[in-house]
Structure 1
């Protein structure tokens, strides 16, 4: 089963500049767009070279990587990124069933020994009109999910979502969240509860405050000591675009009997946390991040800025500046080019004005990536160049059923999809 004890205590987001990275993901699923009336999909990864296997950070990692198997979304998203951006591969092994309305109803995930890792079951109400997960409003309105050991449920009144629950019940304890929505489908209350086998119980929550349609404040609440904790406050421009985010500190640290303790106050200390600037198409072109060190003073320290340039609403430049010291900045720059079909054809990453990675893409008539020219410039290893090629097989419905990934002419990985149809 999922390593829930690690899941609770560790939230990691790492991006390696080499050939591996992993992401802590959410719990929603990703449904691959397929032509035809799909009944089931069987997905496996074949490693052609026995000495080259899926990425692992530690030897204790399971087949799906660090911290165990997190969710279908995290695994599929990470796999696709590594498959199309590096010379390596992650691991996939699952069976998915869909109903005649193209809704996922079952997904079984397995390890390399074909042992069951996770069993996901999905149930829909009678009024469901869901045809794609991309339609978020219909997803929230009509979908009820129930999963073994770890489940989510949606509750409706007059066909409007008013409550959603997430529950995780495993041998070491129980954890659940309850989300409450108002008649305008806005989240107004989130309650969290956790209990463990050692008897420890923790309860807290978060209240959401609105002005008209805009979220203006969040106030996290700790039921253990009946006090607010850290909150957020939001301001907007005349176009209702969020321009500033403030941190609200309802406590300060004080030394009591030679011990640091939190001293709570009903009036919070308000500190600037982040600012946004927009272009005429409402894209965020500049984000400035400020310190959130909870130092309980009104000082404001800028430590990161992200500047973006857009062309046809696509990001073509992303410049990130970090404050290392008072007088030193660490600057990275990403440049991207797209073709007339909005497909990425070039990616370049610079650090301190020096090109350290680039990728160039080619596509076939089906809009699938067929080749990548990958260049890396490592300070220790120097410049490395790799050519990645993808060879496809398609079925009679136009869906690919096999991808062979070759690196510098050597086939290394085969991505298999066996698709069954209702007709």
Structure 2
């Protein structure tokens, strides 16, 4: 039995349905794609430029959450000589809310499409996903209570109208989400995530309830048995310092693996006097397996990143021109390279083209066409 509600909640809670805050002007649409350069003389050339598409496209599982796909690309665009793929068009209404989103393969065929609808409070009420250029879709229909808090989500698929799932939200007196319950047309009640908070309304614990228990078999494995009471077990615990800064996350194993509240791993955070994150370590659960270190300038821009583990040691220095990232220096145990970014801007001051140079050679171009309402 899988906690299938988690992926649905994660998508809807982390997806941004409004115009990017770093883009100036009232944007009508954005068309963005990355191209890998096979041959180019830069900046001035009369020779024809030849391009090849990046390999891999959107991976084995395609795009589940477009924001995660976009986030992955932004990270690889900055920190790696190789990029993941990105090729989309987004359309907005005059309020800046995302209404349509289309992602393409490098051969120009449509990979996925999304349509978004909102209520009078500009809260998302439907997220409809289409596959390719056909009419089959999956949809999340969302309802809200009188305080405009998310009340429920109904998930349906056009090719299987007899099957669906539902998520119910419950809140405490401070409007914190205290419980998220998942139901399916196939099995009824599936599971719940129960959240606990401290007096500052910061989450302290996440526990999972399932409508069954696990019984140990003779061979040491476990089998699920339906139970009217069910099982409640720890999933996460959050620890804070006196300033209310998150210092540690304890993550526990899924109950189905060992039928115990057994600690799986920990994430430890450290901050400087200005509350900037300067260290992030992962432990399994008692021994630290890897650590990340961050340094900042007076503008709170990240200027250095260090990753240390048993297998690798990565150092990245970031170079800025005012608020614009113009390059990085990357070093690990096996290689050293420099990446420089060249920009072209439109009349609104938004970049419409980036060229990525690796060790002095142009490697990738990121193009963005922005249309405005005015």
Q: Which category describes the TM-score, using the shorter chain as reference length?
A: 0.7 to 0.9
Task: State the secondary structure of the residue aligned to 1:26.
Answer: helix
Distance 2:53 2:157 in 1: 33
Give the equivalent residue in structure 2 for 1:105: 99
More contact order relative to length (CA 8 Å, sep ≥ 6)? 2
Instruction: Report the equivalent of 1:413.
Output: 364
TM superposition shift of 1:308: 1.5
Q: Tell me which residue corresponds to 1:305.
A: 266
Deviation, structure 1 residue 394:
0.7
Structure 2 residues without counterparts, runs of 5 or longer:
39-49, 130-136
- Tell me which residue corresponds to 1:192: 183
Query: What is the distance in 2 between the residues matched to 1:47 and 1:190?
Result: 45
Aligned counterpart for 1:399 among listed residues 350, 362, 370? 350
| Cα distance in structure 1, aligned partners of 2:142 and 2:236 | 33
Contact 1:161 1:181 in 2 (8 A): no
Partner Cα separation in structure 1 for residue 204 and residue 88 of structure 2: 43
Structure-2 separation of matches of 1:54 and 1:274: 38
Residue in structure 2 matched with residue 262 of structure 1 by the alignment: 224
Report the counterpart of residue 145 of structure 1 in structure 2: 126
1:54 aligns with 2:54: yes
Q: Deviations for 1:273-296, whole angstroms, at most 9, x for unmatched residues?
A: 554432222112133445555544
Task: Tell me the alpha carbon deviations over residues 344-379 of structure 1, each in whole angstroms, 9 at most, x when there is no partner.
Answer: 110001114x861111101123x23110101111xx
Aligned-residue offset at 1:85: 1.2
TM-score (norm 1): 0.69
State the alpha-carbon separation in 2 of the partners of residues 240 and 102 from structure 1.
30
Q: Equivalent of 2:240, from 278, 288, 311?
A: 278
- Cα distance in structure 1, aligned partners of 2:128 and 2:154: 10
**Could you say if the C-alpha distance between residues 368 and 204 of structure 1 is closer, same or farther in structure 2, counting changes exceeding 3 Å?**
farther
Contact 1:43 1:416 in 2 (8 A): yes
Q: Distance in 1 between matches of 2:206 and 2:269?
A: 19
Aligned to 2:46: none
User: Alpha-carbon deviation of 1:334?
Assistant: 1.2
The RMSD of aligned alpha carbons is 3.6
Rounded Cα–Cα distance in structure 1 between residues aligned with 2:35 and 2:90: 18
Cα distance in 1 between the residues matched to 2:154 and 2:318: 40
Is the 1:253–1:261 Cα contact (8 Å) retained in structure 2? yes
1:244 Cα deviation after fit = 5.1
Aligned partner of 2:81 in structure 1 is 87
What's the CA shift for 1:119? 2.2
The count of corresponding residues between Structure 1 and Structure 2 is: 341
- Relative to structure 1, the CA distance from residue 296 to residue 304 in structure 2 (aligned partners, 3 Å threshold; closer, same or farther) is closer
